[in-house]
């Protein structure tokens, strides 16, 4: 009986060689499930350089860092530092400050902060722990500024060093001294901009996904189902309409891409024109606009979608040919784009 139970369960153990971390997982054995399961991957190899940060994530950056990044990007250097390096350079003067007042003079954004030794007078649990470890009267506010803004330590790391129970206790301390911090999204961007940190995050993510495939696929399935809801689709459509207004060049790129694809498959265009003859006048008009690269309204897009569905169902071989042409054009444009980027760096 025991042997049958052992056979019915597949036990897989993955070692994650990050310090002393060892992850294990037990998954019920199912032949079909395990055969169809794809190995999850998360390599995190796409660089997050300063050009990307300034163009797409500038709103997350503190004003000083944003100004510094803008200066570096304008120089068009071949060897560009990471956002993490820029951030540390900007706030490095905190390391030579002797008091909190020195830090306030150099960085006015911290002007509202209070000295911890003057704020904490009650003998509460958190205060006792800070006193016991000698941190309360040792320029604690300045130390916290250095740890968060220069050393980029997490709240868990800082709480452990101070002898506090956890990040919730540290949050109470930070609130009392009016601590000025950055957003969690900015921290994620900071850590991801460094290649070594990004590789570490990718390794941890891959290890977790590998050890918990059911949870990973369940989460992805839930997200995919949410994207199908009418509320999400409507919100997404409104966002894209607004984006197209702000970035008309996007519509031009899509138009040129579609025109190039249709040039590669004149036989499909001819077959589609012949098929359209059997459709009503409105459908013929919409498909003529589509093949000319003209922007369609939401109503016309629904007509186009219905027409394509009928056409591809009747011509599966042509559908494969069209997909191949689509892939070829995309690959050629990607190579061209990468070539231009490499020329700029040189």
Q: Rounded mean pLDDT of 277-282? A: 86
Q: Rounded mean pLDDT of 234-242? A: 84
User: Would you call 217 exposed, middle or buried from its count of C-beta atoms within 10 A (0-12, 13-18, 19+)?
Assistant: middle
Q: Which residue has the higher pLDDT, 259 or 14?
A: 259
Following DSSP, what letter does each residue of 112-125 receive, concatenated? T---HHHH--S--H
Neighbours of 340 (CB within 10 A): 9
**What residue has token string 């579609």?**
258
Q: pLDDT digits over 94-122, tens only?
A: 999 999 999 999 999 999 998 877 766 66
Q: pLDDT digits over 58-91, tens only?
A: 999 999 999 999 999 999 888 889 999 999 999 9
Buried b (16+ CB within 10 A) or exposed e, 223-260: eeeeeeeeeeeeeeeeeeeeeeeeeeeeeeeeeeebeb
CA distances from 120 to 27, 115, 326 (A): 51, 9, 66
Task: Write down the pLDDT at residue 89.
Answer: 94
Task: Write down the pLDDT at residue 293.
Answer: 67
Instruction: Please name which of 168, 177, 65 lies closest in space to residue 119, comparing C-alpha atoms.
Output: 177
Task: Write down the pLDDT at residue 120.
Answer: 65
Q: Rounded mean pLDDT of 300-304? A: 87
Q: Which residue has the higher pLDDT, 298 or 31?
A: 298
CA distance 322 to 318: 6
Task: Write down the pLDDT at residue 145.
Answer: 93
Q: Rounded mean pLDDT of 286-291? A: 78
Task: Write down the pLDDT at residue 270.
Answer: 87
Q: Which phi and psi angles does 21 have, rounded to 5°?
A: -80, 130
Task: Write down the pLDDT at residue 160.
Answer: 86
| Contacts for 267-276: CB closer than 8 Å, 24+ residues apart | 267/318, 267/321, 268/318, 268/321, 268/322, 271/315, 271/318, 272/311, 275/310, 275/311, 275/314, 275/315, 276/307
pTM flag (> 0.75)? no
């Amino acid at each position: 009986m025991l042997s049958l139970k052992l056979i019915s369960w597949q036990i897989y153990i993955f070692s994650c060689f990050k310090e002393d971390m060892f992850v294990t997982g037990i998954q019920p054995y199912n032949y079909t499930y395990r055969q169809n399961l794809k190995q999850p991957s998360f390599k995190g190899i796409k660089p997050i350089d300063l050009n990307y940060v300034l163009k797409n994530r500038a709103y997350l950056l503190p004003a000083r860092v944003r100004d510094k990044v803008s200066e570096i990007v304008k120089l068009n250097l071949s060897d560009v530092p990471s956002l993490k390096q820029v951030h540390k350079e900007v706030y490095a003067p905190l390391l030579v400050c002797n008091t909190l007042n020195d830090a306030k003079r150099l960085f006015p954004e911290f002007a509202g902060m209070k000295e911890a030794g003057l704020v904490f007078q009650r003998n509460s649990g958190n205060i006792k722990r800070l006193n016991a470890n000698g941190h309360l009267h040792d320029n604690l506010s300045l130390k916290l500024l250095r740890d968060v803004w220069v050393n980029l330590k997490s709240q868990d790391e800082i709480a452990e060093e101070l002898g506090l129970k956890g990040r919730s206790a540290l949050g109470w301390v930070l609130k009392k001294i009016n601590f000025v911090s950055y957003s969690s999204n900015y921290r994620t961007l900071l850590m991801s901009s460094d290649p070594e940190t990004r590789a570490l995050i990718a390794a941890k993510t891959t290890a977790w996904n590998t050890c918990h495939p059911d949870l990973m696929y369940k989460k992805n399935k839930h997200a995919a189902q949410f994207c199908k809801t009418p509320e999400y689709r409507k919100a997404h459509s409104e966002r894209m309409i607004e984006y197209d207004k702000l970035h008309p060049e996007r519509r031009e790129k899509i138009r040129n891409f579609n025109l190039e694809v249709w040039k590669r498959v004149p036989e499909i265009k001819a077959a589609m024109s012949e098929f359209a003859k059997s459709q009503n006048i409105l459908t013929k008009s919409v498909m003529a606009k589509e093949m000319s690269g003209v922007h369609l309204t939401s109503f016309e897009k629904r007509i186009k979608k219905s027409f394509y569905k009928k056409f591809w169902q009747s011509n599966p071989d042509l559908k494969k040919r069209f997909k191949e042409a689509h892939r070829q054009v995309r690959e050629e444009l990607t190579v061209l784009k990468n070539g231009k980027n490499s020329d700029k760096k040189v």
